[in-house]
Amino acid sequence: MTLTGLTGRGTELARLRAAIDKARTGRPVTLLVRGEPGIGKSAVLEALSVLAADTGFEVAVARTRAYPDSPFAAADHLLGRLLSAGAPATPSTDRPALLEHLRHLVDLVRTHAHRSPVVLCLDDVADADPWSLRWLLALAGSAYPTQVVIALSADDFGVGHEPPGGARLTALAEHIDLTGLPAAALSDFAAARCGVALDENSASACHELTGGNPSLVVALLSAHTGRAPTAGELRATVGSAVLPGTERWLGELSRPALALARAVAVLGTDAEIAQAADLARLTVSDTLSALDELSDRCLLANRTPPAFRHPLLAAMVIGRIPVGTRAALHLRAAEILRDGHFGATSVARQLVAAGPLGLSWTVRPLRTAARRLAQEGRADDAAQHLRGVLRDRLRPRVRSAVRRELARLDAFVDPDLTAHQLDAARQEAADPVIATDYAVALAGLLTECGRPADAVTVLDDTSVRLGTAAPEQCWRLRLHKAYICLDGPGRLVGTADPLDELIARSPQHAAARRELAGLRAADAVRTGKDRAAAVRFAGQALAENQDGPGRSWWHGCIALIRADELTEAWTHCSRIRPADGARPGHWDHVTAELLRATIHRVRGDLTRAADALAPMTELLSVAASTSRLPAALAVSVLAEARALMGDTSTALALLTGCGLDQELPLRQDTPAVLAARAVVRECTGELSRAVEDHLAVGRLLSGRRVRNPAVVPWRSRAAQLLAAAGEPAEAAHLAVAELEDARQWGTARAIGTAQHAVAMAATGPQRIGLLAAAVGTLARSPARLELAAARFDLGAALGAAGRLSEARTELTAALSTATSCGAQPLVHRIETVQQEVFPEGPDEPLHPTLRNLTPQELRILRLARNGHTNRAIAGKLFVTVRTVEFHLSGAYRKLGISGRRQLAEIIPATLTAQPGGR
């Protein structure tokens, strides 16, 4: 005999062996094996009989359900197997005779056990007749040395359900309470019992569905014998198969209990007692009694709200409901949940399960639930809900709206197929409104995929097809064409209708008015001459937008960000983002996170900007490499933030992985990608290539007639690099031009950034005054990182001019701000300058002997003290040898020394340590 039935039950086997060893000492042992049906109680008794027989015990096994409920029925069967002569006949039902017979049967076992140790196994003790239980109790509580093991099994006794003598027997017994097999043991169990191979994931799914109950595991795996099912296949089995073993759990339920079990299975997580009673059509009293019955039968967990112990049990109940009855139950559940205000998601779950029923009221909850599921990152479930809507009879315009919602979800996975489906729907549509809606959706998808010319072709073709019969819809098509051309490559800019002609029509529909306002906001940003108008139009584009995100939403948010109305922009883009921790369900979620990261970047919070996009890195990298515009823009923002934080290797890897480090095609996102790439190259020391990228941005934006520096401050960025490279004239030309445009736009961020560039192109005392003006302007803006950079340059200029107290103030403020921004390279540069200007530290006074030296004299003395020659010092400081000699002579005179040999006495070694590099 083998013990394969106890796979994964090592602890239980150890307790069985201990019980056998204890019984050999003459002390009777009683074991009560308890647990839910199918948990393996009979297997434990069988294992005990195998172990006992192998060690010389005589074993008798009985199952109470096989015998009539007459006095000593179970005892007679056990003794008949134990005694060769069989059990003595049971007397009449006279109580004194029965008591005498009880003593006789006890003595028979004791006598037999003196000759050979005995194991008595009684399965399903809860069904045993009362006199057999009294007999077992007498044996278990015997004070005489007896080599007896009494092993009983029972389902968990419900309160008040113990048979006579059961409670006392339970109190005497050692309990072995069985729970499900652990997930780690299911692979071995499945291989041994079912011939099924489970990997770690599928074993985990199996445990989730069955709780490790062996009989439920066997039922679940019965359809997969000889295979290695995946976790998904196992979950699909639950919803699609009639599982074996169902009768064992449901066969003896009362009518109310079965009705309640069906109601709880149909309601699922929404199974409150009141709703379950309503669906089962039971009174409250009958419902509570049925709950007790289902709990006692181990179908439901002993808690409220009611729920099945294991998901597979719910599937067993659902599988036994005829299909028509099941659909009716799901529909009634949806109505109950709707009337109870349980929310659209709960109602929609029931409607999807019911299938298409042609009821008009079902459309709204299904669409609402789909949006919420998408917000939670459950795009597949959301799409399933929308497909459920499409199976019903719908008005043409409602069907069009649902199909476009579904396209937004499908385009996240397969944009080419979605574009093909939208184009087919567009060409089939006879209603001008529907045809226009499909055309606009298709053009948006093509634009998002970097195909603006194809998008324009779709809009033009639809407009020609509609002709003069639908002027309102043709106007919408022209409007969206203007959107695309506004953002698109330069060659498309002149192909759109003039904005004045589009404004001349006053659209009646609210959505069209929002679209027009979004276009006007975008145009105001492009021209950069009326910030107030851009903000006003952005507010109109975003007002009461119930249609979900679109071009007007994007341009409205972008206009607010470029106008530095960051709080309002944050409010609007946060309405679209997915739930915390959820994966994006469609590209609007990616766009929302992109906008949030952009706002963080404007505020100088590099860490939060990176954190907003980092969880989507894999998704973004794949999509950006296939020309998805939101992904490429998001990768650019993430790479720029990483570079400014000092993580240049990650920034370069992001650009390289998406092919953004190569020559870029002319697309809508190209200027933004080039601008971010220039910042990354500047951070990695490729200054000339960074300048090239900035100038390329300028050429592209000029081709689109964009001068507003709030879009990309390419001139000020290029000017700073050119000034550092010794080309102040070109730097000044660019910076002054940007400052003029920035003043027209009017934000402190744009003006201060341009002022900073103008200052860096200047020299001498003039630079300090210009830098101070830039710092004052940027201090009134949200751009903390730009403020830190300007303060750093001002502090360095003040230090070089010998205005140490003022320099200390600016550098300390710059360091604090740069640190809070997470800009580690800037932090290191500030610390380096602090060490050069204030060798004893920015907050400590210089040694009295050195106080009268200028910063340049102090730098040269320190290098001389370290042993550098005059020529070497000149090379390090980019000055002439004569300048070095001049400063050394002046310093020696101030210190009262004659030459280098005395420097060691004047300048401590701690003041000569070279500052850390960048």
Q: Enter the tokens of residue 153.
A: 């099994």
Among residues of the chain, what percentage have pLDDT more than 70? Answer: 92
Instruction: Determine the 3-state secondary structure of 329 from DSSP.
Output: helix
pLDDT, tens digit (0-9, with 9 covering 90-100), for 187-219: 989 998 888 999 999 999 999 999 999 999 998
Tens digit of each residue's pLDDT (9 = 90 or more) over 392-421: 788 888 888 888 888 888 888 788 899 999
Which amino acid, residue 440?
A: V
728: pLDDT strictly greater than 50: yes
Which segment of 94-98, 178-182, 228-232, 460-464 scores lowest on mean pLDDT?
94-98
Asked if 528 contacts 562 with a C-beta cutoff of 8 angstroms, the reply is: no
Q: Residue 331 CA to chain centroid, in angstroms?
A: 32
Cβ distance 639 to 680 under 8 Å?
Answer: yes
Quick one: DSSP state of residue 770?
H
Instruction: Say whether pLDDT at 264 is over 90.
Output: yes
Confidence of residue 844 (pLDDT cuts 50, 70, 90): very low
Mean pLDDT for the stretch of residues 729-745: 94
Report which of 544, 550, 561 is spatially closest to residue 518, judged by C-alpha positions.
Answer: 550
At residue 691, the pLDDT reads 93
CA atoms of 228 and 213, how far apart (whole Å):
20
Element (DSSP H or E) covering residue 896 = none
What pLDDT, in 10s, does the model give residues 326-370? 999 999 999 999 888 888 888 988 988 888 777 888 888 888 888
Nearest to 462 by CA among 445, 480, 450, 488: 480
Identify the weakest region by mean pLDDT among 417-426, 667-676, 788-797, 906-915. 906-915
- Rounded CA separation 596/607 (Å): 12
Confidence band (pLDDT; 50, 70, 90) for 158? very low
Whole-model pTM: value is: 0.70
Is the pLDDT reported for residue 162 higher than 70?
no
Q: Per-residue b/e over 494-522, b at no fewer than 16 CB within 10 Å?
A: eebeebeebeeeebeeeebbbbbbbbbbb
CA angle at 638 for the pair 636 and 639, rounded to the nearest 5°: 65
Per the model's pLDDT, the better-predicted residue between 699 and 912 turns out to be: 699
Q: Using CA atoms, how far apart are residues 208 and 311, in angstroms rounded to an integer?
A: 8
Residue 519, strand partner residues: none
Q: What average pLDDT is seen over the chain?
A: 85
Q: What share of the chain is helix, strand, coil (3-state, %, to 5)?
A: 70, 5, 30
